[in-house]
Homo-oligomer: A and B are copies of this chain.
Amino acid sequence: MTALSPVDEIRNLMARFAFLADGSPELGPLLDLLTEDAEWVVGGTATTGRAAIGERLGGSRAAGVAGPGSGTRHLITTLEVVPTGEDAATARSYWLLVAGGETTECRMVGEYRDTLRRTPDGWRISRREVVVGTA
């Protein structure tokens, strides 16, 4: 089988990030999908570097908003991937956070605005801006 195209690798990366965000007991495998110097921006507040982003995501997990035990899944929908150079791309997507159990409930909807970079280990997210809700 032919090797994956850069766009396919990036689509897979975005799915894998969602799967790990929902199901991985450890944050490590999730943070490995970010570049070391990654920037994570929510509501205009930026967090820089894997370690600091890990603390931030750990806080959401502790609050039961996301991650294992929260009973939620990140549904990635509308997705555009735009190559911007040999080893660079941007992506924009809509996400829906859904909780499943006795009932199925849509908790949040929003958008990811991502910058991606190809590293020796594969494509990684170097910047993610999370938009919550609708403008």
**Once the chains bind, are B134 and A87 in contact (CB under 8 Å)?**
no
**Once the chains bind, are B12 and A73 in contact (CB under 8 Å)?**
no
**Once the chains bind, are A1 and B106 in contact (CB under 8 Å)?**
no
Task: Name A residues whose Cβ lies closer than 8 Å to a Cβ of B.
Answer: 1-2, 4-8, 11-12, 14-16, 18-19, 22-23, 68, 71-83, 85-89, 92-94, 96-101, 104-111, 132-135
Q: A79's contact among B1, B11, B86, B135, by CB below 8 Å, is which? A: B11
Complex Cα gap A15–B111 (Å): 12
- Chain B residues near A2 (CB, 8 Å)? 5-6
- Which residue of B has the minimal Cβ distance to A79? B15
Tell me how far the C-beta of A93 lies from the nearest C-beta in chain B, rounded to whole angstroms.
Answer: 8
Complex Cα gap A6–B15 (Å): 18
Complex Cα gap A68–B14 (Å): 27
Q: List 6 other contacts, CB 8 Å, given A75-B77, A106-B106.
A: A1-B86, A12-B82, A71-B135, A74-B94, A75-B75, A100-B108
